[in-house]
């Protein structure tokens, strides 16, 4: 769909803004905006926390409307800190957070809140600039604003207040701001619905993928095969001719990788060393660090060969990948390494360890509240099905084919989401900078 443009434009006088409609004005943000910051009450004083005042921090800025927060403070906590009450209808900005590497979180609070020190509330003069318009303006100009507002030399990504308050803002007449906000509310809502549909599809594909894997590695491929109880509640019935035993029975080695500081041994070229961030179910991804050859050689008992299994210990506990040929001889940080006996295929047991039943086992046997942790003894005790080697190979071949199809569908859904989100940002940007005239479209 093509949109009309305004009849006449003028230079905004700001390089990154370009031209704006001729009748729009340009003003510095500080000329029509007051700013409020925040603070953190003493964490040790329980009387300051779990009160009735939502205390908004960057982790709460995941939606466009703020109706509450993960944490709350009391009146005493408010008075003890630099925080203040922010009435409803303010534009909230994250001004200090790692997320500012790529996104400026912005929202409007629908209820009275307080802020932490990494946030700011903007009180706009509604006779000159509407919250709903400015909110969309920040969204639409996210990328240039990241450059314009960035504090130089900061160790943590942050917005420099002087850059923020001196930003030149194009201001349409209030009636036009209302039209722009109304148009964008409707159009972004349509796009968000389409994104949500694709996200639901991805969730269904993920669930189906897990179900296909879990069924194949526990029931086999022959639907008519006689079954027998495994004797393990969360595993259920298995094919009658299969055996099962703990992982330690079918492995020649289950050990933990390097569990010591290694920053002094990092090298641009050397021995690859895997981290938990590199491990996904059945995959090794991302940038891989390297350590000096001598450092790796001195820890030879931790050496990982192609075909070994590497399993995450903390967080995504139990998530496992097979080490490929190009990483033969690598090392890993504090993850679990399993070397299987020759009759057992690493690819089959990788699927098994990432299956729903095995993940259930890790959740039950692991320890920790915020994050599940597993150890060498827990992994060694993992009950494991033992199909004949030929069946292991057939199951791997089947699952490779089935998961490839499901992954391709998921990739298409993700591509659709990316394109929709790009269109959303482009539409917002065009409307708030006057590159399209939505005055008649807002009422359509």
Predicted local confidence at residue 310, as pLDDT: 98
Q: Are residues 234 and 368 in the same domain?
A: yes
Q: Are residues 273 and 154 in the same domain?
A: no
Neighbouring residues of 31: CB distance < 8 A, sequence distance ≥ 6: none
Three state DSSP letters for 373-413 = ECCHHHHHCCEEEECCHHHHHHHHHHHHHHHHHHHHHHHHH
pLDDT digits (tens, 9 = 90+) for 87-138: 999 999 999 999 999 999 999 999 999 999 999 999 999 999 999 999 999 9
For residue 405, being part of any structural domain is answered with no
Neighbouring residues of 292: CB distance < 8 A, sequence distance ≥ 6: 265, 266, 267, 270, 271
For residue 200, being part of any structural domain is answered with no
β-pair partners for 215:
none
pTM of the model: 0.84
Predicted local confidence at residue 440, as pLDDT: 85
Q: Are residues 318 and 435 in the same domain?
A: no
Instruction: Count the neighbouring beta carbons within 10 Å of the beta carbon of residue 287.
Output: 7
Mean pLDDT of 184-190: 96
For residue 406, being part of any structural domain is answered with no
For residue 211, being part of any structural domain is answered with no
Mean pLDDT of 350-354: 97
Burial class (CB in 10 A: 0-12, 13-18, 19+), 146: middle
pLDDT confidence tier of residue 183, bands split at 50, 70 and 90: very high
Q: Are residues 18 and 160 in the same domain?
A: yes
Which region holds residue 13: left if phi is over 0, alpha if psi is between -120 and 50, else beta?
left
Predicted local confidence at residue 151, as pLDDT: 82
Q: Are residues 229 and 336 in the same domain?
A: yes
For residue 215, being part of any structural domain is answered with no
For residue 332, being part of any structural domain is answered with yes
d(CA 148, CA 134): 16
Q: Is the pLDDT of residue 153 over 80?
A: no
Location of structure tokens 């925080």 = 83
Predicted local confidence at residue 122, as pLDDT: 97
174-219 and 346-353 are packed helices; what angle lies between their axes, rounded to 10 degrees? Answer: 130
Nearest alpha-carbon partner for 98 in 41, 150, 167, 37: 150
Q: Are residues 359 and 438 in the same domain?
A: no
Q: Are residues 172 and 28 in the same domain?
A: yes
Whole-number percent of the chain with pLDDT over 90: 89
Q: Are residues 235 and 321 in the same domain?
A: yes
pLDDT digits (tens, 9 = 90+) for 297-322: 898 889 999 999 999 999 899 999 99
Q: Is the pLDDT of residue 18 over 70?
A: yes
Q: Is the pLDDT of residue 200 over 70?
A: yes
Q: Are residues 288 and 172 in the same domain?
A: no
pLDDT digits (tens, 9 = 90+) for 245-270: 999 999 999 999 999 888 899 999 99
Mean pLDDT of 18-39: 96
d(CA 259, CA 342): 28
Q: What's the domain range around 258? A: 221-386
Q: Are residues 374 and 426 in the same domain?
A: no
Helix H or strand E encompassing 247: helix 247-250
Rounded to the nearest integer, the mean pLDDT of the chain is 94
Q: Is the pLDDT of residue 165 over 70?
A: yes
pLDDT confidence tier of residue 1, bands split at 50, 70 and 90: low
Helix H or strand E encompassing 282: none
Count of domains observed in the chain: 2
For residue 20, being part of any structural domain is answered with yes
Structure tokens at 279: 């491990």
HSE (side-chain half, CA atoms, 13 Å) at 366: 21
pLDDT confidence tier of residue 323, bands split at 50, 70 and 90: very high
d(CA 192, CA 202): 15
Residues in the chain: 444
Compute CA distances 226 → 214, 221, 239, 241, whole Å: 18, 12, 6, 8
Q: Are residues 381 and 424 in the same domain?
A: no
Domain end, chosen from 386, 404, 429, is at 386
Q: Which string of b and e fits 25-55 if b means at least 16 CB within 10 Å?
A: eeeebeebbeebbbbbbeeeeeebbebebbb
Least confident residue range of 141-155, 194-208, 235-249, 306-320: 141-155
Q: Is the pLDDT of residue 10 over 90?
A: yes
pLDDT confidence tier of residue 402, bands split at 50, 70 and 90: very high
Q: Provide the sign of the torsion angle of the four alpha carbons 351, 354, 360, 364, taken in this order.
A: positive
What's the CATH number where 225 sits?
A: 3.90.220.20
Question: Are residues 77 and 51 in contact, defined by beta-carbon separation less than 8 angstroms?
Answer: yes
d(CA 225, CA 213): 18
Predicted local confidence at residue 155, as pLDDT: 67
For residue 308, being part of any structural domain is answered with yes
pLDDT confidence tier of residue 174, bands split at 50, 70 and 90: very high
Q: Are residues 141 and 238 in the same domain?
A: no
Mean pLDDT of 358-366: 93
Predicted local confidence at residue 99, as pLDDT: 92
Predicted local confidence at residue 444, as pLDDT: 60
Q: Is the pLDDT of residue 369 over 80?
A: no
Domain end, chosen from 363, 386, 409, is at 386
Predicted local confidence at residue 232, as pLDDT: 87
Least confident residue range of 228-237, 347-356, 375-384: 228-237
Neighbouring residues of 291: CB distance < 8 A, sequence distance ≥ 6: 262, 265, 266, 267, 270, 271, 273, 331
């Amino acid at each position: 769909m093509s949109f009309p443009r305004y009849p006449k434009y003028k230079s905004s006088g700001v390089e990154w803004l370009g031209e704006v409609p001729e009748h729009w004005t340009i003003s510095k943000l500080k000329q029509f905006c007051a700013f409020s910051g925040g603070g953190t009450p003493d964490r040790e004083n329980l009387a300051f926390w779990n009160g009735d005042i939502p205390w908004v921090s960057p982790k709460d800025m995941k939606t466009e409307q703020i109706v509450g927060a993960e944490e709350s403070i009391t009146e005493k906590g408010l008075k003890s800190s630099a925080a203040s009450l922010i009435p409803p209808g303010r534009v909230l900005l994250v001004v200090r957070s790692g997320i500012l590497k790529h996104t400026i979180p912005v929202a409007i609070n629908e209820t009275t809140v307080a802020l932490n020190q990494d946030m700011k509330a903007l009180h706009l003069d509604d006779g000159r600039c509407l919250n709903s318009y400015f909110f969309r303006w920040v969204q639409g100009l996210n990328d240039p604003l990241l450059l314009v507002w960035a504090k130089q030399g900061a160790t943590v990504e942050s917005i420099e207040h002087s850059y923020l308050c001196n930003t030149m803002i194009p201001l349409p007449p209030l009636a036009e701001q209302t039209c722009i906000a109304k148009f964008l509310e409707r159009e972004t809502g349509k796009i968000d619905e389409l994104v949500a549909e694709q996200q639901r599809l991805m969730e269904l594909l993920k669930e189906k993928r897990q179900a296909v894997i879990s069924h194949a590695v526990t029931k086999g491929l022959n639907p008519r095969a006689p079954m027998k109880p495994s004797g393990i509640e969360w595993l259920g019935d298995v094919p009658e001719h299969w055996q099962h035993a703990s992982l330690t029975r079918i492995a020649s080695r289950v050990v933990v990788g390097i569990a010591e500081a290694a920053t002094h041994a990092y090298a641009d070229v050397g021995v690859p060393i895997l981290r938990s961030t590199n491990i996904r179910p059945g995959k090794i991804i991302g940038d891989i660090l390297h350590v000096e050859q001598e450092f790796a050689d001195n820890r030879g008992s931790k050496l990982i060969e192609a075909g070994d299994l590497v399993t995450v210990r903390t967080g995504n506990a139990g998530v496992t990948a097979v080490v490929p040929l190009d990483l033969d001889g690598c090392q890993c940080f504090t993850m679990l390494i399993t070397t299987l006996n020759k009759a057992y295929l690493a690819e089959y047991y990788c699927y098994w360890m990432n299956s729903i039943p095995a993940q259930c086992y890790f959740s039950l046997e692991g320890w920790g509240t915020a994050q599940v942790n597993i150890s060498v003894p827990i992994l060694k005790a993992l009950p494991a099905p033992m199909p004949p080697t030929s069946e292991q190979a057939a199951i791997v071949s089947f699952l490779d084919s089935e998961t490839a199809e499901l992954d391709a569908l998921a990739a298409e859904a993700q591509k659709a989401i990316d394109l929709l989100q790009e269109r959303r940002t482009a539409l917002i940007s065009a409307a708030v900078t006057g590159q399209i005239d939505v005055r008649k479209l807002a009422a359509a």
